[in-house]
Amino acid sequence: MKKSFITVACTLFALFSFGQSSSEYGLSMGFSGYLGDLQSPNYTYQDPGFLTGFFARYNLTSGLSGKAFLNFTRIHASDINSSDQGHIDRNLSFRSNITEFGCIGEFNVLPFDPFHPENKKYRRYFQCTPFFTFGLNVFHFNPQTYYNGQWLRLNPLRTEGQNYNLTQLAIPFGMGIKFQPTPRIVCSFELGFRKTFTDYLDDVSTRYIDPSILTAQNGALSAELSFRGDEINTSASLPEINSPRGNPDNKDWYLINTFSVSYKFYHTK
């Protein structure tokens, strides 16, 4: 316990001893991916979506920063692109716009920014460093599917008899590399992961409900969209009631890759 405390104390001292502060404002662009019941691989950027965003970063020291961000992206997937024949026969698909706002800590591996006027003269600072991130965000999503020439919102249809909140919390974490070519410009590339606490990014999670119950409670369209295998195979029979439609044990994730450029302002005493 004593050794652990000393290790943590030394780490914090190292982060805060590079005495400098600055702020940055920038833009991000990139693409997003999705992991869930409509993706058979464990990790994939199949069907990527475009991402754009804005952020503000406050650099407490050369080793530690806080960042607030607002991103807009879209995720989508289709069973027809799966390598799993069971998914193909199910024939479900979705898209969802995601708006996320969050705050993360950025931890630089190397002391960053050799241009700061208050750098310690006895320390070496770098123009390029890897970094790691961890934080918390809130995001809004809204799954839709394409049917009869139009995009339909899935949440109100309750295709599994479910009711879920379209605004959720997620834990963002990741890694990246940043580069400072001039005193005022910082470029960075980040690979980010979003651990969510919902299994309904894609509107698929548990089991097939009796179509007559779905029709009675939510309308005929709910039953029609709960299983769409008959659209590609007219002889396809409806799955057994309560047979698996998704996997509720694995929550959905979304992923982001971003390239960012920011403009830096120095704060001196």
pLDDT digit string (tens) for 26-54?
A: 999 999 999 999 976 666 677 789 999 99
Q: What are 139's two structure tokens?
A: 């995001």
- What's the mean pLDDT when you consider all of the chain? 90
β-pairing, 49-59 vs 64-78, is antiparallel
Would you call 91 helix, strand, or coil by DSSP?
A: coil
Task: For residue range 111-131, list pLDDT tens digits in order.
Answer: 999 999 989 888 999 999 999
Q: How far apart are CA 11 and CA 147, in angstroms?
A: 55
Phi, psi (rounded to 5 degrees) for 52: -140, 155
Q: Which two tokens stand for residue 177?
A: 């590399």
- 88-111 confidence digits (pLDDT tens): 889 999 999 999 999 999 999 999
Percentage of the chain beyond pLDDT 90 is 75
**80, 43 contact by CB (below 8 A):** no
Longest Cα pair distance anywhere in the chain, in angstroms?
77
In the chain, pLDDT over 70 holds for what percent of residues? 90
Task: Quote the pLDDT of residue 190.
Answer: 97
- The confidence band for 4, taking pLDDT boundaries of 50, 70 and 90, is very low
3-state secondary structure 5-53: HHHHHHHHHHHHCCCCEEEEEEEEEEEEEEECCCCCCCCCCCCCEEEEE
Q: Give the model's confidence band at 236: pLDDT under 50 very low, under 70 low, under 90 confident, else very high.
A: confident
CA distance 22 to 246: 47
Q: How far is CA 23 from CA 107, 184, 224, in A?
A: 15, 10, 53
CA atoms of 208 and 159, how far apart (whole Å):
8
What is the rounded average pLDDT of the residues 64-85? 93
The domain spans of the chain are: 19-267
Q: In sequence order, which residues have a C-beta less than 8 Å from that of residue 203 and are 6 or more positions away?
A: 94, 143, 145, 154, 155, 159, 160
Q: Which fold has domain 19-267?
A: Porin (2.40.160)
pLDDT: is 181 or 44 the higher one?
A: 181
DSSP, collapsed to helix, strand or coil, labels residue 88 as helix
- Closest by alpha carbon to 211, among 227, 235, 233, 230? 227
Sorted by sequence, the CB contacts under 8 Å of residue 180 that are 6+ apart come out as 112, 113, 114, 115, 127, 128, 186, 187, 264
Structure tokens at 192: 């980010």
Nearest alpha-carbon partner for 23 in 59, 53, 54: 59
pLDDT at 3: 53
Q: State the average pLDDT over residues 16-27.
A: 77
Number of H helices, E strands in the chain: 4, 10
pLDDT of 43 reads 64
> Distance between alpha carbon 234 and the CA centroid of its chain, in Å?
37
